[in-house]
A and B are shown apart, each in its own frame.
Chain A
Amino acid sequence: MIRRELLKAMALASAATAASTLVPGVAFADLPEETNTDVQWKKTPCRFCGVGCGLLVGVQKGRAVAVKGDPACSVNKGLACVKGYHSIQVLYGNDRLKKAYVRKDGVMVETPIKDALDLVASKMKETISQHGKDAVSIYGSGQWTIPDGYCASKLFKGCIGTNNVEANARLCMASAVTGFLTTFGKDEPMGCYEDIDHADVFVTWGNNMAEMHPVLFSRVLDRRAKKPGVEIIDLATRTTRTSHAANHSFLFKPQTDLAVANAICHELFEKGMVNEEFVKKYTAFKKGKTNIGYGLEDGFAFKDKMESIDLKEFKTFLADYTPEKVEVISGVPASDIRYMAKLFGDPRKKVVSFWCMGANQHTRGTWINNLIYNIHLLTGKISQPGNGPFSLTGQPSACGTVREVGTLTHKLPYGVVMKEAARRKAAEIWNVPYENIPSKPTYHTVEMFRALDRGDIKFMWIQVTNPMVTMPKLNRYRPGAQKDGRFVVVSDIYPTPTTDVADVILPSACWIEREGMYGNSERRTAHFEQMLQPPGEAMSDTWQLIEVAKRLGYSKQFPYTPKDHIEQIYEEYRLFHKGKTHNMAPYEVLQKESGVVWPYVDGKSTLWRYNSKYDPACDATKDFDFYGKPEGKAFILARPFEDAPEKPDKEYPFWLNTGRVIEHWHSGSMTRRIPTLHQAVPEAYVELNPVDAKAMGIKHGEGVKLVTRRGKIEMPASVGGRGTPPEGMVFVPFFDENHLINNLTLDAFCPISKQPDYKKCAVRVEKA
């Protein structure tokens, strides 16, 4: 008490001196101050990652001027990350595309957008009449809004009649989708972010969450700070900020996560930690094909076949994966594997698994997704608050637009093209003849770019994505797109290496310059209104598609009005998802709320699916009901460890791993135009292990040459920087178009999901 009084007195004395000039009401002369603070705050999901933070954007005099986290949004509760806080700066780059451009004699010529849209439509007609419907294609993204993707699918699949619809989400979450479908029969996570606030253990599977999903990771850290004993386990191939923040970091050799997951299951059985009642009631054991290939050759085809097995056979399968055997394969000590199994198996602990690109960009991506589910199913730790496998996504609407609208070759807004019922439903809602929609999928993304290279596809329209930075093995696909007889239309907001290969560039409205919706990782659909006018002749991707559809003669299918088209499209789209398993919230609800989680049934979001306590779609007589599979039983799948297609060898002795940094988004076409972010990480670099760097005499900042079977590149070394790869691995972020690392990567993919593996190929490292 005495000290307190003393301190107060001290404070009074010193502060009075220090602040004697501060007189309320008197402004200081040298700094201009805002007298008109009439800033309007409007809600929107963030433009960047799949976390889907709610932001409030301050708009003043027709410009976005400030950002804060939306306290009303349960995702982030008022917090954002450096990308979100600076997101609005992306609107104001000096080189914003404001006009359309058309290539004439090799030169891009500014053209009125109406004329450019005329040309796009006439080129499509011409291509279809000369080469057939499957010669035209559209390639979009998980940054498409829901109405963008919906219009693309309706135009191409419904009206034109081709399944040549793909999106870059194929490169980022296709394995998550096939993982869900093979195990549960229904896509997207069963739980929600609220799981974080209940869990005792977090396991990140090849997921640098501290940088890639920072706001969620902060929520994890808050949970750990609040509850004693909460642990974070980082299971990774490279030491990252997440590893340092975790309680334990276990490094495995690339690709061997498959073996580690199976070893955890082995140990669960060995130590009697399997939840036998749950397994008996709610799961079925299955196996699929093995030695399934890598898709390296054009036209590669694969179809999995599920067979039932019994518990005994499953245990026999696991016999190859004792912790000791897997220690040899993976490099993870058997004691650490047992430690993880104990955490999963402890009935008193609630466990959440997180993963993203490490598991998905994987030539056995579907399998590793399945294997993580196996662990949660064997322990019954699923579909309950604090217990669940949670597949994170990378893009703001990878779930909303690509998975839910179904902008992939085999998908429709509800169901797959192979199913007659799904085609009939789509034809009815779209007001097109049933026969229009082909029953066979055509090209997945890698194969679509191969088809463009071969000339099977002549016309490609690319929206909201930058494949000439993000496709693997670019040294094949860039020249492929530039060949004679190919016509490439690119809708974007800035010039990029992809607009460099375009024949027509359409200027797009960005994010809050138009109205739209995104859907995040936890099944949350979030709406944003148009807050600003797009610059020049820039037009939303949705409206570009509508304009072209009208020019192709589909006015009847695209009767939307400029003022209300987003509401009209969304309400039409919602018809696909009626019912308790997938119902979407009505437009008016989306307008009011900071995102709404589906299934939205009787005015209420379903936060935990498959649990009859929370999910009205379940058979109420059972505690759990995995209604996507027969008898409500999820599949526990025997998936073996199979090695990567290209491993380090004598000639190319290192692993090449690629990824992101917190400051930059994907190909950097947006974040590099945000001054704060660009200045933070101005260029790409190659991370080396200090031991390797020393052996080669390479110091931090010095030039390094990387060579793979596909290409070579020079860039500065990073030693002791942000991340540290183990000996024998290098890591390169892919955001920098001046250092196109994807010239070097391999286009091998998971045969089930067709998602390429950007994390593993063999590289030679030399001092430049």
Chain B
Amino acid sequence: MSAPKASPGCAVGILGLFMIVPFVVAHWVEDSFHHDPGGHSTALKTLLNSPLEKKTAPMVVPDPVEGAKVRTLREFYSRRAYPGAPPVIPHPAGREDLMGDSCLTCHAQGGYVPKYNAFTPLSPHPEKSNCRQCHVPQSGKAKGFVSNWSKVNPPKRGQSAMGGSPPRIPHTLQLRENCASCHVGPSAVEEIRVSHPERENCQQCHVPRTTQELFRSSLGKKVDGR
């Protein structure tokens, strides 16, 4: 296997070529604004109740480029105000007058970027095109104002209910329902790369900690029964 050929700017890797993004988009967009007065959006319910297979692309992993930089988990979390926060844009962000349509040229496709000697992290929600609604660059020039914000630690990995059973998914799936985008491929953070990407139906074995994560507390009492 050979590495994807580099092209100026952002190279589209094998991964990109076979990611069936429109398929994912169609499903999510279709459901995303149907209101369900009983609780969660239909999209989330569908997500939780149906095999993930329909929603994700085939988990195709191109060979890493020799010497390509790989983000560490520490870097991954350093770009977020808290685990689960939208990451900031860690590189010069191009045209400021656009909402971010150009972001998806790279982040919907993935691939090796010679300029950064790294693989482009994939967006788990490429159907959303107003990228800068949530992701903003950091100038590093701001002065004044000290914050006492303290980050909570990221969730523990490998939380198995019993020794050796498949670990649960320790984070919310909101806007991150496509497991492969973060857990598979050379752009994935090494510590959270999955060892068995060929088993596409993640939630067959890995159960989200949904009750606590997705049910809000009602009247000050927790309703998740934990």
Chain A positions within 8 Å of B, measured between CB atoms, are 4, 7-8, 10-16, 18-28, 30-35, 37, 39-43, 56, 58, 60, 63, 65-72, 74, 77-82, 85-86, 89, 92-95, 194, 196-197, 210, 214-215, 217-219, 221-223, 225-226, 239-241, 244-245, 529, 591-592, 662-663, 672-683, 720-724
Contacts and interface: CB of A to CB of B under 8 A. Distances in A.
* Most chain A CB within a 10 A radius of its CB, from B88, B133, B174: B133
A14 B166 contact: no
A24 B164 CA distance: 8
Interface string B58-93: 111111100000000110010001111110100000
Interface in B130-144: 130, 132-144
B197 A43 contact: no
Given A65-B82, A82-B136, A94-B145, A19 B194 contact: yes
Interface in B166-216: 166-167, 170, 172, 174-175, 184-186, 188, 190-198, 209, 212-216
Contacts of B54: none
Given A214-B130, A226-B30, A675-B147, A722 B152 contact: no
B146 A93 contact: yes
A576 B74 CA distance: 55
Nearest to A70: B216
* Most chain B CB within a 10 A radius of its CB, from A11, A12, A194, A677: A11
B43 to A, nearest CB: 8
Contacts of B152: 34, 39, 60, 65-66
Interface of B: 1, 18, 25, 29-30, 32-33, 35, 37, 39-41, 43-44, 58-64, 73-74, 77, 81-86, 88, 96-99, 101, 127-130, 132-150, 152-158, 160, 163-164, 166-167, 170, 172, 174-175, 184-186, 188, 190-198, 209, 212-220, 222
5 contacts: A15-B61, A22-B193, A39-B152, A63-B150, A72-B39
Nearest to A239: B97
Contacts of B147: 89, 92-94, 673-675
A662 B133 contact: yes
A94 B143 CA distance: 14
A728 B203 CA distance: 58
A691 to B, nearest CB: 16
Given A92-B147, A241-B98, A82 B133 contact: yes
A40 B217 contact: yes
A30 B75 CA distance: 12
* Most chain B CB within a 10 A radius of its CB, from A42, A63, A218, A677: A218
Contacts of B83: 34, 66
A592 B130 contact: no
A92 B146 CA distance: 9
A431 to B, nearest CB: 30
Q: Closest 3 A-B residue pairs measured CB to CB?
A: A682-B142, A19-B193, A94-B146
B61 A25 contact: no
B73 A28 contact: yes
B39 to A, nearest CB: 5
Contacts of B144: 672
> Majority SS of interface residues in chain B?
loop
A85 B134 contact: yes
B198 A225 contact: no
Contacts of B222: 40
B206 to A, nearest CB: 9
A429 B136 CA distance: 49
Contacts of B148: 92-94
Contacts of B164: 25
B160 A68 contact: no
B97 A95 contact: no
A37 B44 CA distance: 22
Given A70-B216, A210-B130, A675 B81 contact: yes
Contacts of A13: 1
B73 A12 contact: no
B216 A14 contact: no
A491 B77 CA distance: 36
Given A15-B198, A18-B193, A31-B74, 5 more contacts: A14-B1, A39-B212, A93-B145, A196-B33, A217-B133
* Most chain A CB within a 10 A radius of its CB, from B1, B73, B83, B150: B83
A679 B99 contact: no
A22 B195 contact: yes
A100 to B, nearest CB: 21
A31 B134 CA distance: 26
Contacts of A40: 217, 222
Contact of B156 (A37, A217, A592): A37
A92 B96 contact: no
Contacts of B77: 31
Nearest to A66: B82
Nearest to B152: A65
A78 B30 contact: no
A16 B184 CA distance: 11
A222 B216 contact: no
B25 A225 contact: yes
B31 to A, nearest CB: 10
Contacts of B195: 15-16, 19-20, 22-23
A69 B220 CA distance: 18
B146 A11 contact: no
A25 B97 contact: no
Nearest to A19: B193
B129 A675 contact: no
Nearest to B213: A41
Given A27-B158, A92-B147, A529-B220, A676 B136 contact: yes
A7 B58 contact: yes
* Most chain B CB within a 10 A radius of its CB, from A30, A60, A72: A72
Contacts of A32: 153
Given A41-B217, A82-B133, A85-B86, A31 B73 contact: yes
Contacts of A672: 144-145
B136 A680 contact: yes
Contacts of B160: 24-25
Contacts of A81: 133-134
A192 to B, nearest CB: 11
Contact of B174 (A71, A194, A239): A71
Contacts of A226: 29-30
B1 A10 contact: yes
A293 B218 CA distance: 53
Nearest to B88: A676
A21 B194 CA distance: 10
A23 B32 CA distance: 35
A33 B96 contact: no
A530 B152 CA distance: 21
B149 A34 contact: no
A390 B40 CA distance: 26
Contacts of B96: 721-722
A161 B63 CA distance: 77
Contacts of B97: 239-241, 244, 720-724
Nearest to B184: A15
A13 B128 CA distance: 32
Contacts of A720: 97
B190 A71 contact: no
A682 B139 CA distance: 7
A404 to B, nearest CB: 23
A10 B60 contact: yes
A225 B126 CA distance: 12
Contacts of B33: 77, 196-197, 219, 222-223
Contact of A676 (B138, B154, B209): B138
Contacts of A244: 97-99
Contacts of B158: 23-27
B220 to A, nearest CB: 6
A27 B134 contact: no
Nearest to B128: A218
A95 B145 contact: yes
A33 B98 contact: no
Nearest to B153: A34
A95 B146 CA distance: 8
Contacts of A673: 145, 147
